[in-house]
Amino acid sequence: MRGGKNRRKIFLGMTLAATAGAAAWQFSRPAVEYDTALIGRGDIESSVTAVGKLQPRRFVDVGAQVSGQIQHLHVQPGDAVKKGQLLVEIDPSVQKATVDAGRASLTGLRAQLAEQQAQHMLAVRQSARQRQLDVGGATRAEDIDIADAALSTAAARIDHIKAQITQTSATVQADEVRLGYTRIYAPMDGTVVSVEAREGQTLNATYQTPNILRIADLSVMTVWTEVSEAEVRKVRAGMPVYFSTLGAERRRWHGQVRQVLPAPPSSEGKSADSALAPSSNKVIVYTALFDVDNKDGELMPQMTAQPPLPQSDPPRLLLAELREAARAAWRVMWINRFRTGLTLLGIVIGVASVIVMMAIGLGTRQQVVAQLGRFGSNLMYMASIGESSRIPGRSITLQDLEAVAEIPNIVQVLPNVTGNKVVRYGNQDIQTYVRGTGAGLPEIQTWPVARGAFFSRDDERELASVAVLGHKLARELMPGVEDPVGRHVLIGNVPFQVVGVMSQKGALTGDRDEDNILIMPFSTAGVKVFGQREPTYTVMAVADVGRILDTQEQVEALLLERHRLRDFSIGNAAASIAAEARTRDTMTMMLSLVAAVSLLVGGIGVMNVMLMTVRERTREIGIRLATGARRRDILRQFLTEAVLVTLVGGSAGVAAGLAIGLALMLAGVPLIFSLTSMLAAFGCAVATGLLFGYMPARKAARLDPVAALTAE
């Protein structure tokens, strides 16, 4: 019994001792300290570390080419100089004396030359006199030889003196050049970066050219960078590079590697042979050159550059984030592809509608303008109808047209009489449009004859019964007849000989086909067909289209003066073309507005679907926010989804618009696709997605993480 109590006491004591020891160890252990640091974002790049010196890209060491004392030094370090500016003046006394001595020697030689030329002339005369005496036998042969020798000697002396003059002239020219070297001018624009001489200093240019100063262009600097042989292969021409300078580490200058010199710089004091076999224990470095702009003048020569040479461009984190957001958005779109397809439908319809409507508008406008242009843009039309039915009309007479033809800018006046008549050929009767006009119609309306010829002015004067058929009328009136020229047709009971067939023209404005027409002389039509001598309307052609409005006003003034009232109407083709083009543009604008409304409806559909998506993915958004995603990441994600939907829808809409347009073109509808309209429709689709997707994305980014996680 007592033994059991003792064991319990021993066990209790050991337990208390262990507890006390553990507590003591726990409290004696040093406290754990944690270091915290702010995590920032940066770029990861592989680079080659190097050190370089800054030098001007272009510089010139200005030296002296003649010896002498510097009299004047006109510049100081830091001065900006222009090419041709006087820099240094060296004492010219020695050089000037040399030039003066040379010029004096040249003057003496010229005097000697004049003397020798006089001696030569005397020798010529003496030689000639000896020849004359020899003819009469009054001289000796020895005297003749002496005279000839004197002549030759005088000529040789002249040549010798001329050679001396040439030599002395060259020496004087060289001395004058050396005299010019005493005034030193700037060879380039730039800045004086160093001056190595002073006024009063004597220069000795006998054995080498002494440097006086250095001029450099500091707008572009070159960094001479030393790269070790272990890393020089990683450096390539054109590789991007940046550097900083001591004291301005926060600023970076950027450039590109221009050149890597093929050989390392040779050591001073070594021969060429020793440079080819460098010591094995010496690090070999190569020189890499790259240029950097220095417009602000912050960089100066001999500055130390610290250029890490990046081996590749650092990754663009923003692009990487956008790329990842696009991948995630595409996964969501693919998972909900049925809903995405319904969302895309509005965008596709809107973009395709805009493209097709704009193409139809441009096509019809171009077609109408081309049709009107084929009938002449330099034409004016005049008819005998009043501006109001209350004004009694008076027919425009041929005398009026003769007066109109005298207006300077008008080159042709064609009276016209028109109406519908039945034309018969054999057993074929066709009611067609008959037009009596002048012989100048093909010229002013640019409407050539396909077969035969057009009637002449003689046919007009003689009331000839001739006719020219339109392209369509000839085919329908004489089916199976290869050449209608020479055939006869009847209008009423009057026969007309077909002298030509017009080329295909088409409809003017869609109401009348100009190819279904019969044309005859105006005089013939007025007398034999319509029974009237006054024109129904008149066509006038002008020489200068730019003055067509002024000419129209002159015609109106002339007719008002002759008629005393406005019983006529007048217009021009240019105004008709412009009015028709404006009408088509208005129609195109209305159709495009309807298409834009459908695009707007598609954007609203995108917004509704994105709001529904945000509601369905509330817990996902809460989880992402709780695990460290930033609100701008959520905003970017949902904006990317909205834009991606419109990008896909816009692309599909462009493809659908092109397909519909091609089908309409095959059906004969005039269309002109415009790259501008397609880009505008596509851009509007993307902008619509960005605009209508912002509100759902903003709503998703502003969700409270706790509320989002507890949402049902």
Express each pLDDT in 437-459 by its tens digit: 999 888 888 889 999 999 999 99
Backbone angles phi, psi at 181, to 5 degrees: -65, -15
pLDDT of residue 323: 66
| Total number of domains in the chain | 4
Q: How many helices (H) and strands (E) does the chain have?
A: 17, 24
Instruction: Kindly report the average pLDDT of the chain as a whole number.
Output: 78
Burial of 588 (0-12, 13-18, 19+ CB in 10 A): buried
Other beta carbons less than 10 A from residue 579's beta carbon: 12
Quick check: is 18 in a domain?
no
Within a domain: 133? yes
448 with 547, same domain: the answer is yes
CB atoms within 10 A of CB 637: 23
Residue 434: is its pLDDT beyond 90? yes
List the beta bridge partners of residue 415.
Answer: 538
From 521, 555, 573, give the residue that closes a domain: 573
Q: What is the mean pLDDT of residues 658-671?
A: 82
The more confident residue out of 374 and 191 is: 191
Per the structure, the complete domain to which residue 191 belongs is given by 46-87+185-264+281-314
Q: How far apart are CA 450 and CA 435, in angstroms?
A: 18
Confidence of residue 383 (pLDDT cuts 50, 70, 90): confident
In a domain? residue 214 = yes
Does one domain contain both 422 and 341?
A: no
What pLDDT is attached to residue 424? 93
Torsion of CA 127, 128, 131, 136, to 10 degrees: -130
Q: List, in order, residues 6 or more apart from 35 with CB less than 8 Å away.
A: none
Percentage, residues of the chain above pLDDT 70: 74
Q: Would you call 500 helix, strand, or coil by DSSP? A: strand
pLDDT of residue 37: 44
Radius of gyration of the chain measured on its C-alpha atoms: 52
Q: Reduce the DSSP state of residue 325 to 3 states and report it.
A: helix
Pair 206, 60 in one domain: yes
122 and 174 part of one domain: yes
Q: Would you give the distance in Å from CA 486 to the centre of its chain?
A: 60
d(CA 528, CA 466): 11
pLDDT in tens, 485-504: 999 999 988 999 999 999 98
Give the whole-angstrom CA distance, residue 147 versus residue 130: 7
pLDDT band at 387 (very low <50, low <70, confident <90, very high): very low
Residues 532, 534, 539, 543: what is their CA dihedral angle, to the nearest 10 degrees?
140
Residues 6+ apart with CB under 8 A from 509: 368, 371, 372, 580
* Same domain (yes/no): 595, 705: yes
Evaluated on CA atoms 510, 516, 522, 523, the torsion sign reads negative
- Residue 455: the pLDDT is 93
Count Cβ atoms below 10 Å from residue 679 Cβ, excluding itself: 11
Q: Are residues 349 and 256 in the same domain?
A: no
Non-local (6+) Cβ contacts of 118 within 8 A are none
Q: Is pLDDT larger for residue 423 or for residue 629?
A: 423
Q: Which helix (H) or strand (E) holds 504?
A: none
Q: What are phi and psi of 487, to 5 degrees?
A: -75, 165
Which helix (H) or strand (E) is 284 found in, with range? none
The four Cα atoms 359, 360, 362, 367 give a dihedral, to 10 degrees, of 140
Whole-prediction pTM: 0.40
Residue 236 reports pLDDT greater than 70 = yes
Which region among 102-116, 167-181, 681-695 has the lowest average model confidence (pLDDT)? Answer: 681-695
Q: Which pair of structure tokens corresponds to residue 473?
A: 């009328």
Domain contains 611: yes
CB 197 within 8 A of CB 212: yes
Report which of 601, 605, 613 is spatially closest to residue 336, judged by C-alpha positions.
613
Q: Which residue has the tokens 């005049």?
A: 382
The domain boundary residue, chosen from 126, 153, 181: 181
Beta carbons of 383 and 569 less than 8 angstroms apart: yes
Q: What is the pLDDT of residue 185?
A: 94
Same domain for 302 and 358?
A: no
Tell me: do 214 and 253 sit in the same domain: yes
Structure tokens at 545: 């289209």
SS3 628: coil
Q: Which of 538, 573, 608 is the last residue of a domain?
A: 573
| Structural contact between residues 537 and 522, judged by C-beta atoms closer than 8 angstroms | no
Residue 225 lies in a domain: yes
Check residue 545 and report its DSSP letter.
G
CATH of the domain at 255: 2.40.30.170
Q: What is the mean pLDDT of residues 158-173?
A: 92
Mean of pLDDT values over 133-144? 82
Confidence of residue 268 (pLDDT cuts 50, 70, 90): very low
Q: Does residue 522 carry a pLDDT above 70?
A: yes
The pLDDT confidence band at residue 711, using thresholds 50, 70 and 90, is: low
Identify whether residues 306 and 354 lie together within a single domain. no
> Quick one: pLDDT at residue 378?
76
> 3-state class of 419 per DSSP?
strand
**Residue 12 pLDDT:** 66
Instruction: Clarify whether residues 434 and 391 are in a common domain.
Output: yes
Instruction: Answer whether residue 28 shows pLDDT above 70.
Output: no
Question: Do 507 and 527 belong to one domain?
Answer: yes
Q: Are residues 395 and 512 in the same domain?
A: yes
Asked if residue 518 has pLDDT above 90, the reply is yes
